[in-house]
Amino acid sequence: MTSTSRYVHGTHPEEQQRLADLNALVNRASLAALEPKRGERALDVGSGLGQFARALALATGTRVVGVERSPEQLTRAEALAHEGGEGGLVDFRAGDALALPLSSSEWGSFDLAHARFLLEHVPEPQEVVNGMARAVRAGGRVVLEDDDHEALRLWPEPPGVMTVWRAYMRSYDRLGNDPLVGRRLVELLANAGLSPTRIAMPLFGACAGEPSFPAYVANLAAIFTGARDAILATGGASGEGFDAALQSLAEWGGRRDATFWFTVSWAEAVKA
């Protein structure tokens, strides 16, 4: 997050648990798309609870610098790292994505700068990417992962759920954020003076019968619950409609033919 970020979900323990579960769902696909190289020195911007930063450190064999604004997230990230016996893998730093806490010698020294699910929560994503571009060396790469919320498809569509989802998207607009920023990632990289090299769309979804499917349903329900006030404030859903949609989602999660379709937008660029 940044000092001007507008994160609708908060950092209460329930949200921290949702984020931990979310990491368990997406880290493998994110790491596979990233293709980290041994010896790469990496910067993870908006490192959150640190699970991905730790996975990246294990893959590269080097200590990762993880920047996170939220004191609650940082405290929990450090606790999780120590609980996992990986306390030395990440240099967790309190800081803002718009003012990265790097020393003068660190600017322009990283082989890789990465941010995931961050740009959708800031009104000025270009400024964040500009800072990441400045942080990497010539030949270094910047990798962005974020959401285009219009990509969500649930089938068969549970009654009322997409109405709530569209109201959730409107809550981003109300805060000055872009719920469609995922489709803009290559543009943001190019505008930062970088040379885009490739894109990917890591799968974030499953069908009934896959072991991970209940976790996807639970994550969506937790998103709605955590953002309830913001969703209702848009006027796009009533309280009764919201509650009915949650019930509909729970029932849908028990269907044998249910499918959760979503992909994460992913883009990479290199610094000349």
Mean pLDDT of 60-67: 98
pLDDT of 2 reads: 46
- Token readout for 148 is 């285009």
The answer to whether 118 and 46 have CB atoms below 8 angstroms apart is: yes
pLDDT of 3 reads: 47
- Indicate the helix (H) or strand (E) that contains 197: strand 195-200
Strands 64-68 and 90-94: parallel
pLDDT of 1 reads: 43
Tens digits of residue pLDDT in 223-243: 999 999 999 999 999 999 999
Tens digits of residue pLDDT in 71-117: 999 999 999 999 999 999 999 999 999 999 999 999 999 999 999 99
pLDDT of 96 reads: 95
pLDDT of 225 reads: 95
259-261: strand order across its sheet: 153-155, 259-261, 206-207
Residue 205's pLDDT band (boundaries 50, 70, 90)? very high
pLDDT of 16 reads: 64
64-68: strand order across its sheet: 90-94, 64-68, 42-45, 110-116, 136-146, 265-270, 195-200
CATH number for domain 13-270, candidates 3.40.50.970, 2.60.40.790, 3.90.870.30, 3.40.50.150: 3.40.50.150
- Token readout for 32 is 């596979």
Residue 60's contacts (CB-CB under 8 Å, 6 or more residues apart) are 36, 37, 38, 39, 40, 41, 42
Average per-residue pLDDT for the chain: 93
Mean pLDDT of 163-170: 98
CB atoms within 10 A of CB 261: 15
- Indicate the helix (H) or strand (E) that contains 169: helix 161-174
